[in-house]
Amino acid sequence: MAEHRMSSLDAPVMGEEGEMIVLADGLPDLKAREADEHKLLALDIDRALGQLEPRWRDVLVARFVTGESAAEIGRRYGRTEQTVTGWIREAIGQMKLHLEEPARVAGGETQNE
């Protein structure tokens, strides 16, 4: 690209209606967009967790949020580590299914309808 055709994003330029604008002001804030995407993901995860059987929800939270091992969870439930590992696998599978479903909104319609 020719140097004379390049502009700084911080340099003021004349807008369509004769006003002075800064090009950088028209660009999306990538950090804000990322924060919005994280909020939406957190809502999706909360929705999916809410659809799980209470025991599976507790096991996932204990394992991945509080950091308990499968053996520790098993002792709390009076089950073997292998049983708890199976619960975790099943719960992850259910989470995946729930996260792949379109989110429901009022009136029973999906967001894409």
Question: What local confidence, expressed as pLDDT, does residue 57 receive?
Answer: 92
Question: What local confidence, expressed as pLDDT, does residue 62 receive?
Answer: 94
Has residue 100 been placed in a domain?
yes
pLDDT in tens, 85-106: 999 999 999 999 988 876 554 3
Number of domains in the chain: 1
N-term to C-term CA, the chain:
44
Has residue 78 been placed in a domain?
yes
Has residue 77 been placed in a domain?
yes
Residue range(s) defining the domain that contains residue 44: 25-104
pTM of the model: 0.58
Has residue 20 been placed in a domain?
no
Question: What local confidence, expressed as pLDDT, does residue 85 receive?
Answer: 94
Has residue 99 been placed in a domain?
yes
CATH number reported for the structural domain that contains residue 89 in this entry: 1.10.10.10
Ranges of residues in the chain with a pLDDT under 50 are 1, 105-113
Question: What local confidence, expressed as pLDDT, does residue 11 receive?
Answer: 65
Question: What local confidence, expressed as pLDDT, does residue 40 receive?
Answer: 87
Has residue 8 been placed in a domain?
no
- Secondary structure of the chain in HEC code, one letter for each residue: CCHHHCCCCCCEEECCCCCEEEHHHHCCCHHHHHHHHHHHHHHHHHHHHHCCCHHHHHHHHHHHHCCCCHHHHHHHHCCCHHHHHHHHHHHHHHHHHHHHCCCECHHHCECCC
Question: What local confidence, expressed as pLDDT, does residue 22 receive?
Answer: 62
